[in-house]
């Protein structure tokens, strides 16, 4: 079994509503492992889901052996937020790493804008 963890410590004055992390699963030889489930556990403040409390999620690794997870501050205001993020994989002979991503490393995708529909009445 492989595991990795990191501490999250966001001061109450921080404006960070989310922190992004990338986990990477490889064989001990360094070759990436694709299609493997990795369990992510959060102990402490925050959530692993944007709109509800989630302390555990499972991510599947991609072709590069990587997967991403996001920590959400989840309405914690007026106090420091502290937690530990731990990732584990039950597969033997593996190496699991976990690293925080800088904001410029996170691609959130295109923004959606809503355009009101024009209605023509009486035609």
At 122, the pLDDT band (50, 70, 90 cuts) reads: low
Domain architecture of the chain: domains with CATH: 2-102 (2.60.40)
pTM score: 0.81
* Pairwise CA distance, residues 98 & 5, whole Å: 7
From CA 20, how far away is CA 67, in angstroms rounded?
11
Residue 102 three-state SS: coil
What does the pLDDT look like over 58-85, one tens digit per residue?
Answer: 999 999 999 999 999 877 788 899 999 9
Work out the average pLDDT over 10-18: 85
Taking only the tens place, the pLDDT of each residue in 41-59 is: 999 999 998 888 889 999 9
Question: What's residue 103's pLDDT?
Answer: 78
DSSP letter (8 states) at residue 103:
G
């Amino acid at each position: 079994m492989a595991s990795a963890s990191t501490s999250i410590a966001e001061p109450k004055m921080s404006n960070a509503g989310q922190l992004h992390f990338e986990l990477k699963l490889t064989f001990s030889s360094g070759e990436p492992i694709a299609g493997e489930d990795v369990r992510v556990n959060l102990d402490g403040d925050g959530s692993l889901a944007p709109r509800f409390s989630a302390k555990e999620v499972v991510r599947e690794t991609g072709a590069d052996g990587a997967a991403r997870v996001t920590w959400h501050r989840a309405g914690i205001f007026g106090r420091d937020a502290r937690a530990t993020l731990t990732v584990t994989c039950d597969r033997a002979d593996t190496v699991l790493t976990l690293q925080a991503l800088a904001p410029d490393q996170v691609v959130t995708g295109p923004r959606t804008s809503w355009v009101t529909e024009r209605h023509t009445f009486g035609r």
